[in-house]
Amino acid sequence: MSFLPGILTKNWQLKLAALAMAVLLWTVPRFEVPSSQVLDDIPVRVDLNDPEWSLVGDPSPSTVSVIVSGPARELIRLGVDRPPILVPIDEISSPDTTVRLRDSWFRFSERDGVVVEDLRPGLVTLSFERIVERRIPFSVPLFGELPQGLSRAGPPVITEPSAVVYGPASRLERLDSLRLVPLDLSRLEESGPFLLEVDTAGLHELDVIPVQASVSIPTEPTIARELPDQRLQLPRMESDPQLQAQRSSVTVVLLGARSLVEAVDAGSLVVTIPTGRVNLAPGQEERVMVVVEGVPELVEARTRPELVLLRRPVGQ
């Protein structure tokens, strides 16, 4: 029996190749035998070609089951690729439409021998909304601080202050402005104009014309204007004794663009303290920050001193 090992080991590479070929020839026909498979959760997509309407939400249901038959190897590939069902809509007559799905809408790339046997469910409901147009104003987000010595003299000036937006009516109702790309004030060396693009985040399904705007930032040299002897007005307490201040007046310093600062009427300013800090019991005292009310936008107000000593005397 010693000759058997020799038979097994002689030309072993050829024998191994022959075995592999036999397995392949046995396996391939088995994969070519037609079989059937259920593909669950196949997505339903809509190819909308009517420019006057927009799809609202997803189809209902948004996925279906597809029963297919064909060569096993092709069905395995379909199970991995999971192509969608693409529903073509060329013309809309009603906002709510029920569509019967067709086998030919299953995009399986014409795989050889694959047949669609059934779609479950066979009906989907689609909701549409008319496309409308509306003119919506631009807004210019600003951040950073202007270079030293410069102050803003007014709000941003936009050459064309609004754009025409096309989209579903419900979307446009919730849109009160179109944000432009934020502008960094710290990099400005002049007033402009600057060409800013529309920030398209959150604007899917909408068409905006134009998609950019020319923006200028009015600036002027910064000046400081002192208003001495501005009377300190203390808030009224609900009961006596009332508050008393260490000093009756302060100096107000206005900072900002020349034209804005010089236009401030000193009589329109109110120098006081934050009402939320008035919580002194009789016999208590506290240093609090002085605030100036009535200051125009883009003008900064400071006081000298910044703090005053408040006291509430003991009642008689």
Q: What is the pLDDT of residue 269?
A: 96
Q: Which residue is associated with the tokens 């060409």? A: 195
113-117, 171-175, 220-224: range with highest mean pLDDT: 220-224
Cβ within 8 Å of residue 137, ≥6 positions away: 161, 162, 177, 178
Q: Kind of pairing, strands 183-184 and 142-143?
A: parallel
Is 210 or 237 the better-scoring residue by pLDDT? 210
What sign for the dihedral angle of Cα 200, 202, 205, 209? Answer: negative
**pLDDT bracket for residue 1 (50, 70, 90):** very low
Whether 215 shows a pLDDT value over 50: the answer reads yes
Q: Can you tell me the distance from the alpha carbon of 309 to that of 241, in angstroms, rounded to the nearest whole number?
A: 16
Q: Can you tell me the distance from the alpha carbon of 120 to that of 223, in angstroms, rounded to the nearest whole number?
A: 75
Report, as an integer, the average pLDDT of 216-236: 94
- Per residue in 6-47, pLDDT (tens digit) is 545 556 666 665 565 555 444 544 445 557 888 899 999 999
Q: What is the pLDDT of residue 81?
A: 81
Q: Can you tell me the distance from the alpha carbon of 55 to that of 125, in angstroms, rounded to the nearest whole number?
A: 11
Q: Can you tell me the distance from the alpha carbon of 41 to that of 65, in angstroms, rounded to the nearest whole number?
A: 6
Q: Look up the pTM and report it.
A: 0.63
- Per residue in 117-164, pLDDT (tens digit) is 899 999 999 999 999 999 999 999 999 999 999 999 999 999 999 999
Q: Can you tell me the distance from the alpha carbon of 293 to that of 264, in angstroms, rounded to the nearest whole number?
A: 12
Is 154 or 192 the better-scoring residue by pLDDT? 154
- Per residue in 248-289, pLDDT (tens digit) is 999 999 999 999 999 999 999 999 998 776 778 888 889 999
Cβ within 8 Å of residue 221, ≥6 positions away: 149, 150, 151, 257, 258
Q: What is the pLDDT of residue 4?
A: 45
Whether 177 shows a pLDDT value over 50: the answer reads yes
Type of residue found at 301? A
Q: Is 170 left (phi over 0), alpha (psi -120 to 50) or beta?
A: alpha
Domains and CATH numbers, the chain: 32-127 (2.170.120.30), 140-217 (2.170.120.40), 221-311 (2.170.120.30)
Identify which of 298, 101, 274, 163 has the alpha carbon closest to the alpha carbon of residue 218: 298
Q: What is the pLDDT of residue 33?
A: 54
Give the H/E segment covering residue 54. strand 53-55
